[in-house]
Structure 1
Amino acid sequence: MVGSAGGGAKHPDWYHNLLANPRATVETGVFTYEAEALVLRDAERHETFARLAEADPGWAEYQSKTTRIIPVVALTQVAGGPPNAGSFGAALRLIHGAFRRELALVRREVASSGPGIGAQLRINCLTLCRGLHIHHTFESGGLFPSMLERHPELAATITTLEAEHAKIAGLLEALQTLVSTPSTTSVLAAVDELITELTQHLDYEEEQLIPLLD
């Protein structure tokens, strides 16, 4: 976590709260867990911030606007994790629902961001892309082979889902490239295309797989 406050003169309130009590509750939209906050100091802070700024120059821009040293906080999970959904099908619904909500949120943020993409919005886009990539990697490497072994009749369905994964991977790669550009128009178009393709994919996957997972 980066306490940029948009380059403001004061540290954000959440930073002071974590100094007073380093225990935090993290909500991802799917999982909720307890984490311990650690403020990075000296060389560790500077090295971490430099890597963040290299990946997204917006952080360096915020630092240039203020005389304070923008804090960097690491969160380490100490308890909690995946939800007790009752079944694999219910868990898949929860995960898909989270991606739908996050993508809709990113879409609203992009649409209202004005002429440029801010650092935090870029981070949100990249985080969403990374989460979808991890989810699809898990499905392709674990869920799909397992279901195909138990339900050989799903062969055509799995082939379709894998093809959709490949198409969505291309859209995610394109979006990650676009968020580094100053134009929100192209990013918004890419997000809209991703929403269309991902919604169709999630709907089809739920229709085909969840009855067998519940």
Structure 2
Amino acid sequence: MLLTTTGARSGRAHTAVLGYYPDGDRVLVVGSAGGGPKHPDWYHNLVANPEVTVETGLFTYQATAVVLRDAERDDIFARLVEAEPGWGEYQARITRTIPVVALVQPPGPPGGGRGPVSELLKRIHTAFRRELALIRREVATSGASLGARLRVNCLTLCQGLHNHHTGESVGLFPALAAQHPELADVIAVLQAEHDQIAVRLEELQGVLADPSPDLLPEVDQLIDALTAHLEREEAELLPYL
């Protein structure tokens, strides 16, 4: 997802690409900063100004950031480590306590986004392209051993793509099909590509669970499939958004 905060010092908007974890009527984000010694800038921003903007790929909404404390933070962080041990590896090598933040959406349905849907879609696609390039670079330089940062980046991308495609499949695609019946064949192709990419993501996650020298070809196949899909989606749908 994209998280936009207000700069603690500058007062300007800052947007970060983050993985997130659904937790009932809120979502959770982790201030790991890649295992660095300092909290990420977005964390300092939301501590100073808890009102943030969340963009999930289809919906954009305002939320209030709540920093989890004490036992609640520890219990949830333990659950997150069970899902992705990389968080625990980060925490073990630094002295600061990695923060966990809940983003709480006010009652009511999420809005459609800041500005045209086409601009939001392009921003999300740009973020995915950037993350893919980062992951490939890390894979190419890591050899057969994958560090915690690489695993977390890959799994974050997998989760983000899954959530983005689910939002399109259940929201954007049906709405476009109803308004523009002539797009039926295009949407069918895009949905089929969603299904194919989901298979690629499962295969990549399987390789990550048992890292091997075959990871780079898996990443390249995912990049090829996703790049073609993003280009098709932009060419075919943006004129209608």
Same fold at TM > 0.5: yes
Which structure has more relative contact order (CA 8 Å, sep 6+)? It is 1
Give % identity. Answer: 45
Mapped partners of 1:181, 1:78: distance in 2: 37
Given that residues 67 and 102 in structure 2 are in contact (C-alpha distance below 8 angstroms), is that contact kept between their aligned partners in structure 1?
Answer: yes
Equivalent AA in structure 2 for residue 169 of structure 1: A
Partner of 2:130: 101
Partner of 1:189: 217
1:46 positional shift? 3.2
1:38 positional shift? 2.2
**Alignment partner of 1:129 out of 130, 133, 158:** 158
Distance 1:51-1:153 versus aligned 2 partners, 3 A rule: same
Please give the secondary structure, in 1, of the residue aligned with 2:39: helix
Distance 1:127-1:82 versus aligned 2 partners, 3 A rule: farther
Distance 1:27-1:101 versus aligned 2 partners, 3 A rule: farther
- Structure number with the higher helix fraction is 1
Answering whether residue 78 of structure 2 is matched by residue 50 of structure 1, we say yes
Instruction: Select the structure of larger CA radius of gyration.
Output: 1
**Alignment partner of 1:115 out of 144, 148, 164:** 144
Mapped partners of 2:222, 2:33: distance in 1: 29
Distance 1:4-1:143 versus aligned 2 partners, 3 A rule: closer
1:96 positional shift? 1.2
Partner of 1:22: 47
Distance 1:26-1:113 versus aligned 2 partners, 3 A rule: farther
Answering whether residue 84 of structure 2 is matched by residue 84 of structure 1, we say no
Task: Give the superposed CA RMSD.
Answer: 3.6
Mapped partners of 1:120, 1:23: distance in 2: 27
Distance 1:102-1:4 versus aligned 2 partners, 3 A rule: closer
Distance 1:189-1:20 versus aligned 2 partners, 3 A rule: closer
Specify every segment of 5 or more residues in structure 2 that has no aligned partner in the other structure, as ranges. 1-29
Answering whether residue 174 of structure 2 is matched by residue 145 of structure 1, we say yes
Mapped partners of 2:217, 2:37: distance in 1: 33
Please give the secondary structure, in 2, of the residue aligned with 1:112: helix
**Alignment partner of 2:207 out of 162, 171, 178:** 178
Distance 1:187-1:26 versus aligned 2 partners, 3 A rule: farther
Mapped partners of 1:123, 1:160: distance in 2: 30
1:59 positional shift? 4.0
TM-score if structure 2 supplies the norm length? 0.68
1:177 positional shift? 2.1
Mapped partners of 2:90, 2:114: distance in 1: 40
Mapped partners of 1:103, 1:132: distance in 2: 11
Equivalent AA in structure 2 for residue 150 of structure 1: Q
Mapped partners of 1:2, 1:71: distance in 2: 6
Answering whether residue 100 of structure 2 is matched by residue 73 of structure 1, we say yes
- Structure number with the higher strand fraction is 2
Mapped partners of 1:54, 1:45: distance in 2: 14
Answering whether residue 38 of structure 2 is matched by residue 13 of structure 1, we say yes
Q: How many residues align?
A: 204
Given that residues 109 and 121 in structure 1 are in contact (C-alpha distance below 8 angstroms), is that contact kept between their aligned partners in structure 2?
Answer: yes
Distance 1:34-1:119 versus aligned 2 partners, 3 A rule: farther
Mapped partners of 1:135, 1:167: distance in 2: 15
Equivalent AA in structure 2 for residue 13 of structure 1: K
Given that residues 190 and 233 in structure 2 are in contact (C-alpha distance below 8 angstroms), is that contact kept between their aligned partners in structure 1?
Answer: yes
What do the CA deviations read for 1:20-76 (whole angstroms, capped 9, x no partner)?
A: 983378998x88x897462532x334322322222233444455567x584443253
